[in-house]
């Protein structure tokens, strides 16, 4: 539980309700430290005396108001309280108004109010009264050194003090270019409005604050973890070059955008003014009996035609395959014949040489035997 930052009482009429104030919200923003990019050492800021240059401790620091150049009026916490003790300790309710009469832009910072000692009954009395009449209390309250306009609102069983901005703190919208309802540039058709309402209705759901969270902070912490694991804690990521953005068209097809948002495909043709967006009826794939009777009686149904076409193609392909096979076979036979003839022609000289050698040997042997025969005969 956060510490109590203010103690006082709610006052309306002659009723005083002792209360304590604590912050109702907490900031979960990512706390980044400033570092020296040369050695990544943390940078510190000193509270120093501008005349002497020496550092000043917290206990030696007081508050002051500069009423002229270099001249100050010192104001302690007691001086701030004594300026108007009642204002600094009282939430003074000025009026009760309907909650819807205060625009949201006026709301600034919420604080919880809890009853102080002995204030339970009057606290519950104010809470139930506000709840029954459906109004909020408009009050003045001083927090620290500033007076705030505030609204007391019932949130469950708790009274919440929400500081409000003063009217002069809210900038006017006169200098903004806001389209009016009768502006020609922003004139809406009934069809566009109906489609936008349908989109709003389709995206409507009950308020569940638990389902919303700071996804950017989660992604940033995931990046920090990734850089730690990759040992890139001292790596400065260079910015990527910006891509050229395509030029935006001046005229926006609002109907197409609404249709796409509703999950419909935007039609290419311009919509009719009568609002009839029904698509043309699609013809059934299965023909009706009447359509079959009107067709040519000899014509086969589509499936039969496909089968016949496939059979004809197969029949035409068979002779072609047979002719191709004969051609391949004839080429193979011719090749084998040529190879056989070549082998015979190659072997012919060898056979002749072998024959000639045999004949020569026979003649030499006969010549050698001839003298022996003659000597025998003599």
Q: What is the pLDDT of residue 248?
A: 58
Mapped onto helix, strand or coil, the DSSP state of residue 141 is: strand
Q: What is the mean pLDDT of the chain?
A: 74
Strand partners, 113: 21, 159
Highest mean pLDDT among 207-211, 250-254, 305-309: 207-211
Q: Maximum distance among all alpha carbons in the chain?
A: 187
Residue 46 neighbours by CB distance under 10 Å: 8
Query: Which is more confidently placed, 259 or 22?
Result: 22
**Mean pLDDT score, 236-256:** 71
Mapped onto helix, strand or coil, the DSSP state of residue 325 is: helix
**Rounded-to-integer distance, Cα 95 and Cα 272, Å:** 55
Per-residue pLDDT tens for 34-84? 898 888 899 988 899 999 999 999 999 999 999 989 899 998 888 887 887
**Rounded-to-integer distance, Cα 248 and Cα 236, Å:** 34
Q: What is the pLDDT of residue 322?
A: 54
Percent of the chain whose predicted confidence (pLDDT) is above 70: 67
Per-residue pLDDT tens for 2-19? 788 888 899 888 888 999
Strands 71-75 and 158-164: unpaired
Q: Predicted confidence band at 123 (pLDDT cuts at 50, 70, 90)?
A: very high
**Mean pLDDT score, 307-320:** 46
Query: Which is more confidently placed, 344 or 94?
Result: 94
Q: What is the pLDDT of residue 364?
A: 45
Q: What is the pLDDT of residue 264?
A: 59
Percent of the chain whose predicted confidence (pLDDT) is above 90: 28
**Rounded-to-integer distance, Cα 321 and Cα 367, Å:** 70
Q: What's the predicted TM-score (pTM) here?
A: 0.57
Q: What is the pLDDT of residue 103?
A: 93
Query: Which is more confidently placed, 70 or 272?
Result: 70
**Mean pLDDT score, 112-141:** 93
Residue 282 burial (CB < 10 Å; 0-12/13-18/19+)?
exposed
């Amino acid at each position: 539980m956060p510490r109590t930052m203010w103690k006082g009482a709610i006052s309306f009429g002659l009723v005083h309700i002792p209360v304590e104030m604590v912050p109702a919200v907490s900031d979960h923003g990512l706390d980044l430290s400033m570092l020296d990019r040369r050695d990544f050492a943390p940078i510190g800021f000193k509270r120093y005396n501008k005349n002497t240059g020496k550092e000043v401790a917290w206990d030696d620091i007081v508050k002051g108001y500069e009423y002229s150049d270099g001249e100050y009026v010192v104001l302690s916490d007691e001086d701030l309280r004594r300026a108007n003790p009642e204002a600094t300790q009282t939430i003074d309710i000025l009026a009760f108004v309907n909650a819807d009469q205060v625009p949201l832009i006026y709301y600034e910072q919420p604080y919880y109010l809890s009853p102080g000692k002995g204030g339970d009954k009057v606290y519950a009395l104010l809470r139930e009264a506000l709840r029954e009449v459906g109004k909020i209390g408009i009050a003045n309250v001083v927090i620290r050194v500033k007076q705030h306009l505030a609204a007391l609102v019932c949130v469950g069983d708790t009274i919440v003090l929400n500081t409000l901005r003063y009217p002069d703190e809210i900038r006017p919208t006169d200098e903004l270019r806001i389209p009016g309802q009768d502006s020609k540039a922003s004139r809406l058709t009934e069809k566009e409005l109906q489609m936008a309402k349908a989109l709003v209705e389709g995206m409507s759901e009950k308020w569940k604050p638990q389902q919303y969270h700071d996804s950017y902070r989660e992604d940033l912490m995931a990046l920090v973890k990734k850089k730690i694991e990759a040992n890139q804690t001292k790596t400065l990521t260079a910015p990527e070059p910006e891509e050229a953005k395509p030029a935006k068209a001046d005229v926006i097809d609002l109907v197409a955008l609404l249709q796409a948002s509703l999950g419909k495909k935007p039609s290419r043709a311009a919509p009719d003014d009568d609002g009839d967006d029904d698509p043309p009826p699609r013809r059934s794939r299965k023909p009706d009996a009447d359509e079959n009777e009107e067709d040519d009686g000899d014509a086969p149904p589509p499936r039969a035609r496909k089968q016949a076409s496939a059979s004809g193609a197969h029949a035409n392909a068979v002779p072609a395959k047979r002719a191709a096979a004969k051609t391949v076979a004839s080429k193979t036979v011719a090749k084998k014949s040529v190879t056989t003839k070549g082998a015979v022609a190659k072997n012919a000289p060898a056979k002749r040489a072998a024959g000639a050698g045999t004949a020569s040997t026979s003649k030499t042997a006969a010549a050698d035997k001839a003298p022996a025969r003659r000597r025998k005969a003599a």
